[in-house]
Amino acid sequence: MSVPRRGPVVAVVGVVVAALLGACTSSVYAETTVPTSTSTTPAPTSSTTTAVPDCGDPSQSYDPLPSLTGPGTDSAVKAIRERGYLTAGVSADSLLLGSRNPLTNEIVGFDIDMVHAVAKAIFGDETKVELVVISTAQREKALQDNRVDLVVRNMTMNCDRWQRIAFSSEYYRSGLKILVKRGSDVNTLAALSGKKVCAPNGSTSLDAVKATPGVISVGAATHTACLVLFQNGNVDAIAGDDTVLAGLVVQDPYAFVPEMDQLTKEPYGIGVNKDKKDLVRYVNRVLDTVKADGRWKASYDKWFLPSLKVEAQPPPSLYGRA
């Protein structure tokens, strides 16, 4: 008999081999590794990118189900209910979004609160979740292989990704910024010409770094791996969403995020296998409920408000995707 598990559990390719914590809980502990080597690539001086088909507004998702118990619900969540728990691909080292609490060994954060909200809607019990620790580059593959039901790992919705996976409605609006050494007067990517800037492989942040003339891009497995490189003096800056950088600053008193406009707009969506549109519609109804009943605001105030120092409201949900 399958035992519902609370994360963390086994991680997909590229993560340290998991060690069993105990047969009574069926839990498995896994950690991402810091790569021993990274690739450095000068940014291109001319555009060589392949054109991406226009998907309209990438933050537009499929219409939500009318309710969490009405028509269409069974087809969306039947297999998940029969299994006994929801599976979600998450980060375990993105402080404030999804990171491991060293005292409890549980993964916690804003993204994890969204996972728990979906589990609560399906089972009436937010703990019926299996958290699968994945890297940034593994997010799409985990969905395509049906390794997880959802990916809730600060993933930006864009037209390129819509070709391979589906997204829920927007659940958070972030933006690209940079992290530098305290005392630096740099406040743009362009000002880092000739310098090394780190971002996770497979991220829109790394795409932005590569597209900035003169900047030397350094790819790493995670933002935490970037932070290690930054602290060791191997890179000069880190590029990432302001939510992620806020968590890195908490870990390093010698780093800071300068006052600057967001270099890009990064709408976060919950990733779903593109063939499971009913599940997307179910998740959209859950997110609308969470935004309306105060749970979204409570989660934001707990995780982000102390670091970002900015009051926020839930982003509007945009529907009508064919």
- pLDDT tens digit sequence for 218-276: 999 999 999 999 999 999 999 999 999 999 999 999 999 998 888 889 999 999 999 99
Give the Cα separation of 75 and 71 in Å (integer). 9
200: closest CA among 320, 317, 79, 39? 39
Per residue in 272-319, pLDDT (tens digit) is 999 999 999 999 999 999 999 999 999 999 999 988 888 999 999 999
Give the Cα separation of 105 and 59 in Å (integer). 34
Backbone angles phi, psi at 246, to 5 degrees: -60, -40
Domains and CATH numbers, the chain: 19-33+56-173+268-319 (3.40.190.10), 174-256 (3.40.190.10)
Give the Cα separation of 153 and 12 in Å (integer). 14
Model confidence at 44, pLDDT cuts 50, 70, 90, reads very low
Reported residue count of the chain is 322
